[in-house]
Structure 1
Amino acid sequence: MSRSVDRFLPVDGYVPVIDLSTTRTKAGELLVAQAISGACETSGFFTVVGHGVDQDLVDRMYAVSRAFFERPAGEKAEVAVSPGTHGLYADAGSAAKSLGNTAPPDLNEVFIAGVRGDRPVESRAPDGNTASPWGAVNRWPATPPEFRAVWHEYMAAMERLATDLIRDDKIDDGMSTLAANYYHPLSGPPLPGQLRKGAHTDWGTLTILYQDGAGGLEVEQKRRGWREVPFTQGGFVVNIGDLLVFWTAGRWVSTLHRVRNPAEGRTGARISIPFFHMPRHDAPVEPALPVLRRRHRDTVPHGHDTGRVVPQSAGGDGGLNHVPRRARPRGRRLAGERVERPSSAERHRDPERTL
Structure 2
Amino acid sequence: MDKAQLPPTAAEGFVPVIDLSAKDTAKERAAIATAIDQACTSSGFFVITGHGVHQDLIDRMFTITSDFFHLPDEEKDLVAHRPGVSGYRRTGGTTALSLDQETPPDLCEAFAAHVTGELSDEERCKLGDQWATWTLANIWPERPAGFREVWQEYMAAISDLAADLMRLFALALELEEDFFDDKFDHHGSSVAVNYYPPQLQPPLPGQWRRGPHTDFGSLTILYQEDDRGGLQVLQGENTWRDIAAIPGSFVVNIGDLMALWTGGRWVSTMHRVINPPHGDTTSRLTIPFFYLPNHDATIEPLQQCVDAHNGRPQHHNRVIAGQWMSRKIQKMFAGAP
Length-normalised TM-score, structure 1: 0.84
Q: Are 2:93 and 2:105, in contact at CA under 8 Å, matched by a contact in 1?
A: yes
* Matched residue, 1:240: 254
Q: Are 2:98 and 2:331, in contact at CA under 8 Å, matched by a contact in 1?
A: yes
Instruction: Output aligned runs, 1:165-244, within 5 Å.
Output: 165-167=165-167, 168-212=181-225, 213-223=227-237, 225-244=239-258
SS at match of 2:321: coil
Q: Name whichever of 93-102 and 128-137 sits farther off.
A: 128-137
Structure 1 position 160, deviation (Å)? 0.4
Q: Distance in 2 between matches of 1:6 and 1:17?
A: 6
In structure 2, relative to structure 1, the CA distance for the partners of 1:196 and 1:42 (3 Å cut) is same
Q: Distance in 2 between matches of 1:220 and 1:285?
A: 25
In structure 2, relative to structure 1, the CA distance for the partners of 1:136 and 1:253 (3 Å cut) is same
Deviations 1:27-82 (A, max 9, x none): 32222111100000010000111000000000010011111100000111111111
Instruction: Output aligned runs, 1:89-104, within 5 Å.
Output: 89-104=89-104
Q: Distance in 2 between matches of 1:296 and 1:214?
A: 42
Q: Name whichever of 256-265 and 25-34 sits farther off.
A: 25-34
Let me know the Cα RMSD of the aligned residues: 2.0
Q: Are 2:5 and 2:16, in contact at CA under 8 Å, matched by a contact in 1?
A: no
Residue 14 in 1 paired to residue 14 in 2?
yes
Instruction: Output aligned runs, 1:126-141, within 5 Å.
Output: 126-127=126-127, 129=129, 131-141=131-141
Structure 1 position 159, deviation (Å)? 0.4
SS at match of 1:83: coil
Instruction: Output aligned runs, 1:1-355, within 5 Å.
Output: 1-2=1-2, 4=3, 7=6, 9=8, 11-127=11-127, 129=129, 131-167=131-167, 168-212=181-225, 213-223=227-237, 225-289=239-303, 290-291=305-306, 292-293=308-309, 297-301=313-317, 341-348=318-325, 349-350=328-329
In structure 2, relative to structure 1, the CA distance for the partners of 1:12 and 1:128 (3 Å cut) is closer
Q: Distance in 2 between matches of 1:353 and 1:30?
A: 37
Deviations 1:291-319 (A, max 9, x none): 35389644333xxxxxxxxxxxxxxxxxx
Q: Distance in 1 between matches of 2:330 and 2:155?
A: 18
Q: Distance in 2 between matches of 1:279 and 1:188?
A: 39
Q: Are 2:301 and 2:313, in contact at CA under 8 Å, matched by a contact in 1?
A: no
Q: Distance in 2 between matches of 1:101 and 1:345?
A: 22
Q: Are 1:121 and 1:130, in contact at CA under 8 Å, matched by a contact in 2?
A: no
Q: Are 1:89 and 1:109, in contact at CA under 8 Å, matched by a contact in 2?
A: yes
In structure 2, relative to structure 1, the CA distance for the partners of 1:130 and 1:74 (3 Å cut) is farther
Q: Distance in 1 between matches of 2:331 and 2:279?
A: 28
Q: Distance in 1 between matches of 2:214 and 2:99?
A: 8
Length-normalised TM-score, structure 2: 0.88
Could you list the structure 1 runs, at least 4 aligned residues long, displaced by more than 4 angstroms after superposition: 351-354
Alignment length (residue pairs): 314
